[in-house]
Every structure is written in structure tokens, then in C-alpha cells.
Structure 1
Amino acid sequence: MQADDLATLVADLRAEGSDLAEVEVKRAQRGFPDSLAPTLSAFGNTPGGGTVIFGLDENAGFQAVGVYDASECKRALGAAVRNSVEPPLTFSASTVQFESKELVVAEVDELPGSSKPCRVTKTKKSYLRSYDGDYPLSDVEEQAFLANRETPRFDIQPVNGTSEGDLDPDLVTVYLRNCRQGSSSLDKMSDAEILHKTGVTTGSDRTLTLGGILSLGTYPQQYFPNLVIQASVAPGPDDPPGTRAVDARKFDGPIPVMLDEALRWVSRNTRTRVQFGADGQGRDETEYPAEAVRELLSNALVHRDLGPYSLGEAITLRLETSQLVLSNPGGLWGLTVAKLGHTNVTSARNGYLVRICQNVRVANTGNRVVEARLPVVFRQCLRRSGRPEWFRRASMIKPSDFRF
């Protein structure tokens, strides 16, 4: 970490008055701290990992006091990431001069999903980061991590009591046509065979799968009432005292319907401004890049956790004063934050659902639900702000946030 980056980070800590979810501060003036293991566990379980700064005194307003010995501090940290937690973690550390003191800044890497949860060796407890603290995993959170060690198959679980009569005929017609156009093998099959082979139905009894009813069903919420998008606008300064939300909406129906309605809701609740280009011509520009918002919404819908421990959670969409926040239950799967959005790096939590949605079309636009164009989000935000700060770290179990 460079000195300028550290100065910005310390300014944030001082403004907040406490540690941050992604940053832990240790005084380390007289020796290596003996209470670091829960924080290391939490950072190993957190998308993007976290940063530990040695040599700041939180109790003195994050004053720089310096570390006892920079080289020895790094050596002790190297031992801690290998011996105090399991599996071992990786990190990078640098010595930075800050306000005439020598600090050690260590960036602890996230564990791959196949290795989580990271546990404290002595107690066998696993932790998550929340605000400025480390909190033990609940039993449900523990099970969610363990389930993510293998490729999830919740999207092809049968939904008892369903049949092809629960499918939307218009969506199915378009879906079958696109399947045949995109595959010479599927083109030779009957409608029923295509629905079975692509994971919409389970077989001879034609019971629908969870992925099938969620993407093509007339009303999936008959069976899964919380597989929706909950949207709201944060109150503004002119709203009456006590207002908690404005234009609160719940979007339900199959995935293409939820996507279309949520996009129109974002457009309705955000501003459009006139932006002049180099040619001197004025053009309407939305407050948030429409293409990027669409990509984030579709990703939240098809990559949300469909495990039994997450079916009670909805996707949340909130418009705040200066940012759009989109959260989907389950967070990232099979990817670290460092790889997120890079070309040719993909990972599908719900493989069958993603494949189905690649052949489903949004009714009003004819666009595919899944475009697999997450790098577009980076490019759009980079063009708007100069740096892609749309993603903020959050818990792998609690909703992971996409922010503009």
C-alpha cells in the first residue's frame, strides 16, 4: 500500500471513529497483538479479504504510534496466518512511513470458496466481519459455507406439486425456439425432451425444477414467496419526519418479468441529465448507466443462493442519495473479489438456471436475461467516475452489495 492510499484510509477511520468492516487497526507499539486470530478468520471468509494496520492507536483517535519492530511484526503475522487459523491464509505486507512513524500494513487475502470457512485453530470457531467487529458464524451460516464447497445443484431440485401447466406459454414458446436455434442437438428433440434436457423439468413426471419455475413459471412465488426483489428509495430531506422509505415495491413473477419491472422502476426513480460531448452536442444521460444496472440486476437474479437456508431472503434494491445498492443472498460463489468482472473469468452458482435464462427473453425488449457482460459494469463506472468503485466488500453469507 502506498503512503497516499494509507493517508486516505486513516482519514476514513478517523472520520468514522472506529474500525471499518474491511479494516482492523492494532496498536502493536510494544509487541505483536495476541487477539488477531478471529479477525484473520473473518477476513479469510470475507469477499476481498481485509486490511490490518499495525501501529495506530484506536483509543487515541487513530494516532500513529508506530510498530515495535516492522520486520518482526511481519514475521509474526506470517506465523499467525499459518498457525492461528485453518486453512492457512495468504497476505502481503508493506512498511509505510506515516506521520513520522513506521506502520505495517497487511492485506489479508480471501480464501477460495472451496476452502471456507476459515476457523481459529484453538477454538475451531469461524468468524464473519460486521462493521468493526468479528462475529461467530451461526449454524445456518456455517452450513451455507459448507454447501458452497461443492457445486450447488439447488436449481434442479424438483418443486413438488408443479407441472408444465405452471409454465408461462409465451415464455416457453420463445425459450424452445431459441434452444433449437442455438443447438443442432436440441433441434432434433421434442418440446418435452428439451424441457427435460435443459433442466426445466425433472423427467417423466414433468415436475418443474426450481430453476425452471423461477425462469419460466407464471408465478413462482406461489411456491417460493420470498424469491422476489424488494425495492425502495431512501427518504430525502424534503420527506416528512419518520419516513423510512419512498416508492417501496416488491417485484415478483418469473425472472424476466422481475428484471424488466425493476429496470423501469430504477429509471423512474432516478434523474436524467444533459451531458455535452466533445462535439458540442448535448445528450441525455441517466444517473446510473442503464446497461450496467441491467447487468447487475440480472446477475443478482440468476446467481442468488437457492439453498434452503436462503429461500427466506429476498434480493434488495435501494436507491440512496448518492448510490444504488443491490444485494443478493449468498454473495459470490466460486470467485474472489479480485477476479470479479474480469474477462473470461466466470462462475455460475446456479448452472442450469443460468443456461435456461440464456435462452429466455425479456418480454418488452427481446433482450436475453443473461448476457454475461459484467466487465461492462467496470467500464461504465470507470467512464463515469474515473475509478470502478461500484463494489464494496460484504459478508459471503449476508447479502453482497453492488454499489454505484
Structure 2
Amino acid sequence: MSTAYLHDLAAAPPEDRLQRLISAPEDQWFDRKSARIAPKDLARALVAFSNAEGGTVVIGIRDGAFDADLLSPEKENAIRQTAVDFTLPPVRMEISQIALDNGRSVLRLDIPPSEHVHETISGEVYLRVGDESKKLTYAQRRELDYDRGSSHFEHEPVHEITLGDLVPEEFARYRSVIGATADDATALRARSLLRRDGTLTQAAALLFAEHPQEWLPQAFVRVTRFSDDSPGTGSRQNMESGKDERFEGPIPRIIDSAAACVESWMPHRRALGTSGKFSDQPIVPTDAWLEGLVNAVVHRSYSMAGDHIRVNIFPSRIEIESPGRFPGLADPTRPLDIARYARNPRIARVCSDLGITQERGEGIRRIFEEMRLVGLADPEYHQTGGSVQLSLTTLSRLSAEQQESLPRGAEEILSILRLHGRPLGTGDIVEESGRSRPWVRARLEELRASGVVHWDGRSARDPRAVWSLPS
């Protein structure tokens, strides 16, 4: 569900609101609960949202139907006291009602991200990941305690600017997507971007100030292109003349400008596209490097002075290096197993509002999928003492021996299997390629003999047999 969805509800007729709430998918920032829920069970969701990026819980919907009529005054009062009675330290939340038709309503609980690690009174710690509240192990909880300190920075006050210093068009866009109708201060508080004393936070400045680099000089992206796969040093440096740009300003503007630069400087190669035809393709899929760039800007450690994001473009690879190590909850050697964790939850939430980021924590997984879709090697993450580097190369997923043994027309078959991302029957591949069945069958058998594709079936005549790529 879009993070602006609940704001759109206010403009919807009351008779339409219930159906919208029922049909909206649960995600990183939205959950539905029945009015029957016990406060101790509700506490798990409150803890999970608070430990992650904040979110909203709507109470009064069960199995796709309204059940808030079960909210007696006693039950509603118990729900309002859940944070105090069942979470440690008590989770902050705002409680309101969403008016429906015929005088009905449901409860709405808004939970902001916290600078602390919260647990239930039974000592369990949860983290919101996608549409689940995941229970953390003891070791993960310790790492969360450690990592939580970095999220303090984006909530620190910035005394150098006021509301009048925000970029009008950027802030207007934000107000529009969250459906803000009240004053600017209220719109900022909706995402915890304004402190209780009325001071703007570092997150607000980074997102909307004209030039946050005045007090955070490290908050920029540098894009550089090299003529050789080795950057070289000194007089042997291979940086191309005029191909070194620095991008500053608010975060949305930095991402747009840096992305346009990378796209214009990206080397191309003649390759088979997902359409099955040869054409000029960027050496690395656009969606892969763009996801990497966005992740770097949104999740970098802005508290690390003296370091910035670097995007280095080489003839056969792209490297994106971002200040700040992976959070302790993440194992960089197993990037696909990394659970969603935002170092800057307020920045991440607003960037999702603005359509800059995905909502379900699929950034790393999407980079892998895009690289695999065109047959390139998996992304590589390297962690140094103070940064994370993502490397996207033009190396094939196939070994040199496999590439050497590929039969003519094999890339066409492989492209179809990559595009679908699931096992396909011979008939499916025949239909997609427009080739004859004997030709497709012959290519598939050759690929199978080379170990490039797998066949899964009970017998040679099994109509349900399928072909797939190795994982």
C-alpha cells in the first residue's frame, strides 16, 4: 500500500473508506487488527513498528470485514493503555478515529520511529520487516541496540534553518503526496521531521533545505567515469577529462541529478535484451544501478563527517560506495538474507512517500534480480572499516567453459527463462520464441548437457516437465 494511502482516505466519502482499508495490502508501515485483539498481542505490533520506521495500525477489521462494533468502552480503553501496560519503555503513539458510514468508525494508531529499542513486558523484541513483525534473537537484539544509536542523528535539531528556508517546490510535493491539508508544521510532524520545540530535524533539512551541505558538507554524491578498469594513481590516473561531477542540494534533487549523470555517462554494449532482440544496452541494467544509488543516498550514515557517496563508472563495472557499515543485523556475505533495516527511518519513510524508494524492503533483492535477468554475475558487497561498496560488473553468470560451449541461439532461450524468472515447459518456450518445437528442444538439450539449464520431469514424455536456470 502507498504510504500516502491513509491520507487519501480523508478525502474519500465515508462510505468508501472501509472498503479501501480492507483492500489495502499490509506493508512496512500499515497493519490491520481485529477489535478482538488482546492488548498483549497488540503490543508486538507497536514494538515492531517503533523499532523499525514507524507505521499505522488500524483496529476494527477482521478477515475482510468490519468488527469495530466489538470495541466496548472498556476494550477501547485497554487498547489505549497498551503501550503503557505492555511495552518497555512505553511506545509513543497517537490514537484517533477514522469515521466510516452509518456512524461507524475504526481506531487508528500512529507509531513514530523511536531512538530506543522497545520490547514487550515479556522481554520479546520485534522488528517490522515488510508485512511481518519479526521476533529478534538475543544476538539480533544486541545488534539493534548498537545500531539504534545512528538513527539519533537524523532526529537531531538543526538551528541554522526555519520553515521559511525549505525549498518550496520540494516541500509542496511532499505535502501533496501525504495529503496534508493543515499547516506546514503539522505536515512535518506527520513524519517526525519537526521536534516538539518547533525545531527542524536533520532529516527535514536533508530532504527539503536548499543547501544542507552548508552544515553537512559530506552530504553529496560524486560521480566519476574512468577510461580503464583500474582507476590508476597520480600521473597514471585514468579519470576521463570532464567526467567528475559533484551533486548537492536536498536528497530528492541529488538523486535525480546524479541518476541523470550516471545514465548519460554509462557505457553501452551490443547485447540481447529481454525482448529477445539485439540492441545497445547499458553495461549494467538501469534498474540495478539506480536501486543501488537510491539505497546509498537514503541509508548512508550522515553523521560520518568528511566522507561522501562515490559512484565510479568503469568500462566493465560500476561501483557505488556509501559511508557507514551495514547494520549489525546484516551479514554482508549473505546480502539476500538481509532483513529490512533503515539507518534513517524518517528519511526512508519520506522517500517512499515521494515514490523514490520501494516500500517492502526489496532493494537488494531487486538489484540481484535485475542483474540475473540479463545473465550478469551477482552483485558484490564489500565492507570496509567505515563504508559499504556495491560492485555491479559485466561478467557473465556462466563460467568461461559454459560460455564457450553455448550453442547458436542459446542466448534467446536463456533470455526467455531469465525474463520469466520461473520454470517453463517446452511449449511455453516455443510460444515465447516463435521457433519450431524441434529447434527449441535441441537447444534446450544442448544447454542441459552443458549444465546451463536444469530439466525437471518424471520421464521424457512428462507433459508437466519444466526447464529452469540454476539458482
Name the CA shift for 1:370/1:251 in 2 (closer, same or farther; >3 Å). Answer: farther
Pick one of 364, 375, 381 that aligns with 2:371. 381
Question: Partner of 1:337 in structure 2?
Answer: 332
The whole-number CA distance in structure 2 between the counterparts of 1:235 and 1:297 is 21
How big is the shift at 1:326?
0.7
The 5 A counterparts of 1:4-403 are 115=142, 148=147, 150=149, 152-180=151-179, 189-205=182-198, 207-236=199-228, 242-246=236-240, 247-276=243-272, 281-307=277-303, 310-333=304-327, 334-337=329-332, 340-342=335-337, 345-360=339-354, 367-369=355-357, 372-374=361-363, 375-388=365-378, 390-395=379-384, 397-403=385-391
Cα contact 2:273–2:374 (8 A) shared by 1: no
How big is the shift at 1:254?
1.0
Name the CA shift for 1:377/1:278 in 2 (closer, same or farther; >3 Å). Answer: closer
| CA displacement 1:264-300 (0-9 Å, x = unmatched) | 2212222233434587633442111111111111110
TM-score (norm 2): 0.47
Instruction: State the Cα RMSD in Å.
Output: 3.1
The whole-number CA distance in structure 1 between the counterparts of 2:284 and 2:220 is 22
Name the CA shift for 1:354/1:287 in 2 (closer, same or farther; >3 Å). Answer: same
Moved more, 263-272 or 188-197: 188-197
How big is the shift at 1:234?
2.6
Letter of the structure 2 residue corresponding to residue 378 of structure 1: F
| CA displacement 1:342-367 (0-9 Å, x = unmatched) | 59x3111111111122223xxxxxx5
How big is the shift at 1:195?
0.7
Cα contact 2:332–2:383 (8 A) shared by 1: no
Name the CA shift for 1:400/1:176 in 2 (closer, same or farther; >3 Å). Answer: same
Cα contact 1:217–1:254 (8 A) shared by 2: yes
Name the CA shift for 1:243/1:301 in 2 (closer, same or farther; >3 Å). Answer: same
Cα contact 2:319–2:391 (8 A) shared by 1: yes
How big is the shift at 1:162?
1.1
The whole-number CA distance in structure 1 between the counterparts of 2:220 and 2:140 is 26
The whole-number CA distance in structure 2 between the counterparts of 1:402 and 1:248 is 19
Give structure 1 stretches of 5+ with no counterpart.
Answer: 1-110, 117-144, 181-186, 361-366
For residue 392 of structure 1, give the secondary structure of its aligned residue in structure 2. Answer: strand
Letter of the structure 2 residue corresponding to residue 193 of structure 1: T
TM-score (norm 1): 0.55
Question: Partner of 2:129 in structure 1?
Answer: none
Give structure 2 stretches of 5+ with no counterpart.
Answer: 1-137, 393-471
Name the CA shift for 1:176/1:244 in 2 (closer, same or farther; >3 Å). Answer: same
The structure that has the greater radius of gyration is 2
| CA displacement 1:161-186 (0-9 Å, x = unmatched) | 21112211111111011112xxxxxx
Letter of the structure 2 residue corresponding to residue 324 of structure 1: I
Cα contact 2:274–2:374 (8 A) shared by 1: no
The whole-number CA distance in structure 2 between the counterparts of 1:259 and 1:347 is 20
Cα contact 2:323–2:388 (8 A) shared by 1: yes
Name the CA shift for 1:276/1:288 in 2 (closer, same or farther; >3 Å). Answer: closer
The whole-number CA distance in structure 2 between the counterparts of 1:202 and 1:149 is 19
Cα contact 1:199–1:356 (8 A) shared by 2: no
How big is the shift at 1:306?
2.5
How big is the shift at 1:112?
6.0
The whole-number CA distance in structure 2 between the counterparts of 1:353 and 1:401 is 21
Name the CA shift for 1:341/1:150 in 2 (closer, same or farther; >3 Å). Answer: same
Letter of the structure 2 residue corresponding to residue 233 of structure 1: R
| CA displacement 1:79-135 (0-9 Å, x = unmatched) | xxxxxxxxxxxxxxxxxxxxxxxxxxxxxxxx967657xxxxxxxxxxxxxxxxxxx
The whole-number CA distance in structure 1 between the counterparts of 2:367 and 2:253 is 22
For residue 222 of structure 2, give the secondary structure of its aligned residue in structure 1. Answer: strand
Cα contact 1:230–1:248 (8 A) shared by 2: yes
The whole-number CA distance in structure 1 between the counterparts of 2:265 and 2:388 is 23
The whole-number CA distance in structure 2 between the counterparts of 1:320 and 1:259 is 20
How big is the shift at 1:159?
0.9
Cα contact 1:112–1:336 (8 A) shared by 2: no
Give the count of matched residue pairs. Answer: 248
Question: Partner of 2:113 in structure 1?
Answer: none
Letter of the structure 1 residue corresponding to residue 309 of structure 2: I
| Structure whose residues are more often helix by fraction | 2
Letter of the structure 1 residue corresponding to residue 380 of structure 2: F
Higher relative contact order (CA 8 A, sep 6+): 1
How big is the shift at 1:386?
4.9
Question: Partner of 1:16 in structure 2?
Answer: none
The whole-number CA distance in structure 2 between the counterparts of 1:173 and 1:203 is 22
Name the CA shift for 1:248/1:211 in 2 (closer, same or farther; >3 Å). Answer: same
Letter of the structure 2 residue corresponding to residue 171 of structure 1: E
Identity across matched positions, percent: 21
